[in-house]
């Protein structure tokens, strides 16, 4: 499906509530991180659209607002936590959270450097959420994903200069996670994000990649299981 530039006179906004979002700037030169399937380019935006009501991620595009998106984290450990620690219990060796090797196999941890300043709508604090007429449940309750997708489009409609959203990681508190809107970021000069290959782990499933990944996860009492025979 081809991507379109969002038209604020179209389907959104659908609420009478006036949104007055607070903004946070990600400065050019900032290094951001993501875990992704290795078959995709590190700076490739996702064009898969989520269902309006049911399956899909928190702030993804839908048929009503079909933007492409890219999730990022402010640190490598946060990117690992957001991708690999969903619903993983403290039931492994020494009470650690044991991540199945299959979750890391075929994936990469990539470092991306911001080429141009990015203006993101902040959703970190109570005041930030109130500014867009929402509460913490927008970020905390996974049953609210459909509402979150709807509210992402409401924010886009009322804040046409918003290039994405920024919020507090649920799996590594105090650290930033964010989503970028492809139709709102500069695409010249190779796109908004430069790949920093020397800071990345190309294969989390390799011996060296697994070692580096587990070093990152150690402060969070988590580790990726090592295959039998290694």
How does residue 38 score in pLDDT terms, banded at 50, 70 and 90? very high
Q: Is the pLDDT of residue 94 over 90?
A: no
Sorted by sequence, the CB contacts under 8 Å of residue 6 that are 6+ apart come out as 12, 65, 67, 156, 157, 160, 183, 184
**5 or 43: whose pLDDT is higher?**
43
Residue range 5-31: average pLDDT? 81
Q: Is the pLDDT of residue 7 over 50?
A: no
pLDDT of residue 8: 46
Q: Is the pLDDT of residue 2 over 60?
A: no
Minimum mean pLDDT among 45-49, 52-56, 215-219: which range? 52-56
Residue range 122-129: average pLDDT? 97
d(CA 50, CA 53): 9
Q: Is the pLDDT of residue 69 over 90?
A: yes
pLDDT of residue 64: 92
pLDDT of residue 10: 66
Q: Is the pLDDT of residue 126 over 80?
A: yes
Q: Model confidence over 139-176: pLDDT tens digits?
A: 988 888 999 999 999 999 999 999 999 999 999 999 99
How does residue 190 score in pLDDT terms, banded at 50, 70 and 90? confident
How does residue 3 score in pLDDT terms, banded at 50, 70 and 90? very low
Structure-token pair, residue 225: 């299981």
Q: Are 97 and 90 in contact (CB under 8 A)?
A: yes
pLDDT of residue 196: 98
Residue with tokens 């839908």: 62
Entry field: residues in the chain: 230
The pairing of strands 23-26 and 118-122 is: antiparallel
Which pTM was predicted? 0.91
- What residues does each domain of the chain span? 23-224
pLDDT of residue 66: 94
What does CATH list as the number for 23-224?
Answer: 3.90.175
d(CA 222, CA 15): 42
Minimum mean pLDDT among 8-12, 33-37, 73-77, 167-171: which range? 8-12
Q: Are 57 and 199 in contact (CB under 8 A)?
A: no
Mean pLDDT across the chain:
92
Residue range 182-211: average pLDDT? 93
pLDDT of residue 229: 81
């Amino acid at each position: 499906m081809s991507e379109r530039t969002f038209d604020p006179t179209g389907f959104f906004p659908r609420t009478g509530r006036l949104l007055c979002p607070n903004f946070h700037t990600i400065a050019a030169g900032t290094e951001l991180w993501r875990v992704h399937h290795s078959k995709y380019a590190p700076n490739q935006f996702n064009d898969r659209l989520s269902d309006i009501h049911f399956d899909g991620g928190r702030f993804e595009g839908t048929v009503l607002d079909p933007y492409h998106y890219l999730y990022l984290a402010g640190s490598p450990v946060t990117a690992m936590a957001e991708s690999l620690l969903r619903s993983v219990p403290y039931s492994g060796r020494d009470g650690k959270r044991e991540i199945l090797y299959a979750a890391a196999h075929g994936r990469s941890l990539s470092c991306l450097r911001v080429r141009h300043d990015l203006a993101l709508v902040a959703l970190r604090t109570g005041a930030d959420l109130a500014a867009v007429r929402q509460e913490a449940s927008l970020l905390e309750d996974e049953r609210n994903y459909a509402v979150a997708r709807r509210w992402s489009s409401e924010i886009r409609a009322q804040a046409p200069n918003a290039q994405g959203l920024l919020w507090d990681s649920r799996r590594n508190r105090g650290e930033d996670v964010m989503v970028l809107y492809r139709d709102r970021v500069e695409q010249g000069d190779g796109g908004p994000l430069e790949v920093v290959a020397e800071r990345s782990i190309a294969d989390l499933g390799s011996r060296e990649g697994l070692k580096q990944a587990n070093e990152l996860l150690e402060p969070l009492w988590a580790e990726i299981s090592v295959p039998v025979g290694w």
